[in-house]
Structure 1
Amino acid sequence: RVTGVKRQIKFSPNHIGNDSMIFNLTAQSLTAMGYDVEVYPEAEFVLNEVKGKYIFNMVRDKASVRWIQKLEKEGSLAVNSGFGIENCTRKKMTQILMDNDIPHPNSVIVETSEDPTEKLEAMEAGAYWVKRGDFHAIHHEDVAFARNVSEAKDIIKEFAFRGIPNAVVNEHLVGDLVKFYGVADTDFFFHFYPFDLSHSKFGLEKINGAAHQYPFSVENLKKACDRAGEVLNVKIYGGDCVVAPDGTFKIIDFNDWPSFAPCRDEAAPKIAECIHKQIQKTL
């Protein structure tokens, strides 16, 4: 028997239908493989302190993540792990990717209460992305583009007013924005140019513009993403990278269990296969 936990609607900005579809298709694939699947909404799972030996989940709420971590400490298997989900919050993710030499933009982490001028100027970036550090992006304002240091500072001040304790500032990279989805322990890896498919959460893709489709090694990208998933402790992942004209790439975002919207029919059986493989390892 496996326990499935859906994502709360507020953690699916502009992707509510997509998130629930990939979840439901995965549950169907597990059922087809012979598993008895019990599904809970995220709030009910925590409020009723539901326990399960094998859990697959898309949770994001801090209370749900803590509950899954508690169950894992008691011996449950969770895909994705509650510890991995927490690692994908922006500040932690940035630190872990940089510490493990995963290709990543030049970045600084700032407390919103401090004066970031020195750190920002030291980056010597042409432009900046300022991102909420304490959590995943939920609101349009959680990720903002800044053309210079003074705009970046204004955004950081605004975060402070909103009660956000820290921010991650990435250098703006010039190149093709490429979205990717992967599933560990399977051969599944999908990438596409979001600008060309009009696939967007907050409409920020327009800043990089239409893709030039610079050639790059998909195999190397998959390797880097699998490695990122490994160090973050996330099996089912997605994210974004920017490919430079010379074919090098840097991962600018990495998420635990995204919507897989453009490839969900191919992805769901692979996600179920990954969950099955993790269960087999515990037997």
Structure 2
Amino acid sequence: MSKIRIAGVKRNTKFSPNHIGNDGMIFNLTAECLRNMGYEIREYTESEFVLSEENEKYIFNMAREKSTIKRLKQSEKNGSVIINPGTGIKNCTRTTMTRLLIENNIPHPQSLIVDVTDDPTKELEAMDSGAFWIKRGDSHTIHREDVTYARNIEEAKSILQEFALRDIPNAVINEHLVGDLVKFYGVYGTDFFYWFYPFDLSLTKFGLEAVNGKAKEFSFDVEELRNTCNRAGEVLNVEIYGGDCIIAADGSFKIIDFNDWPSFAPCREASVPYIAERISKKVMAAL
């Protein structure tokens, strides 16, 4: 009996800022684990996958290129089983993610979606926030400047002007939340959920954790956070996920970022069996 073949699509390194090695390692370990489970794994770069004439039935991927997402979405329509699907990856771009989380009552900061040539002064005054985060709206984060802290409205407007000079069409403006920054990783449909304080471990892409600083370790309900993250995964159609949230002094929390298949760097070895388990379960259910 021939082995079931699963295609694996690696992430283009330009979408792994300061995490090229970590993203590569989680992909490789997942492929190795699936091989040990008896699957045949055919690996592709994003460009190889887009140009391939194969119609892969089962696919796991860390893709981010628009052309790859388009191909994944077409495969999804044709009945392929995909983790994470192209629709989910697209949903994790900033503007779409913000709309979906707010519309589905996932705890989230006050947010404004703007064209970078707009003047958001009145809306930001109404937000009544002491500071803001200006985030690229049209894609996933690629450069350090794609997510920028603004101490006041004038700084926020200046950052929007810089986005316009970089040909970024729109942006999401979040209120700045005071509290403990917590990073989390999860695999939907499994028991795996991991969280930690990134500032304390000095685990960072761009050093932005310094804005909130050292965690005061406010008490919060981990199970509630896990359930909320899984609901966010359902809303966004993402099963292998990670993200960030802010824990307030009263223990409440708000999700400030949610990503499709992050690096799982601080919990890589522990997470891989669960990731492979989820992929295998989806494949077996489709047979």
Settle same-fold status: TM greater than 0.5: yes
1:173 to 2:151 alignment: no
Instruction: Give the aligned residue type for 2:95.
Output: K
Question: 2: distance between equivalents of 1:69 and 1:182?
Answer: 23
Question: Identity of aligned pairs, percent?
Answer: 63
1:35 to 2:39 alignment: yes
1:214 to 2:187 alignment: no
Other structure's SS at 1:23 match: helix
Q: How does 1:115-154 map to 2 (within 5 A)?
A: 115-154=119-158
Aligned residues: 283
Question: 2: distance between equivalents of 1:50 and 1:232?
Answer: 27
1:155 to 2:152 alignment: no
Runs of 4+ in 1 over 6 A off after TM superposition: none
Instruction: Give the aligned residue type for 1:99.
Output: E
Question: What TM-score, normalized to structure 1?
Answer: 0.99
More moved, 216-225 vs 108-117 = 108-117
1:56 to 2:54 alignment: no
Question: 2: distance between equivalents of 1:20 and 1:189?
Answer: 21
State the shift of 1:50 in Å: 4.0
Question: 2: distance between equivalents of 1:208 and 1:116?
Answer: 24
Which blocks of at least 5 consecutive residues in structure 2 are unaligned? none
State the shift of 1:280 in Å: 2.1
Instruction: Give the aligned residue type for 2:172.
Output: V
Question: 1: distance between equivalents of 2:197 and 2:172?
Answer: 24
Instruction: Give the aligned residue type for 1:148.
Output: N
Other structure's SS at 1:19 match: helix
State the shift of 1:42 in Å: 1.2
Aligned to 1:265: 269
Match of 2:82 among 44, 69, 78: 78
Aligned to 1:229: 233
1:106 to 2:110 alignment: yes
Other structure's SS at 1:273 match: helix
- Give deviations 1:57-103, integer Å, cap 9, x for gaps: 00000000000101111111110010000000000000000000000
State the shift of 1:230 in Å: 0.3
Match of 1:91 among 89, 95, 103: 95
State the shift of 1:51 in Å: 2.7
Match of 1:14 among 10, 15, 18: 18
Question: What TM-score, normalized to structure 2?
Answer: 0.97
Other structure's SS at 2:216 match: coil
Aligned to 2:245: 241
Aligned to 1:203: 207
Question: 1: distance between equivalents of 2:55 and 2:271?
Answer: 27
Other structure's SS at 1:163 match: coil
Which blocks of at least 5 consecutive residues in structure 1 are unaligned? none
Instruction: Give the aligned residue type for 2:119.
Output: D
State the shift of 1:133 in Å: 0.4
State the shift of 1:281 in Å: 2.2
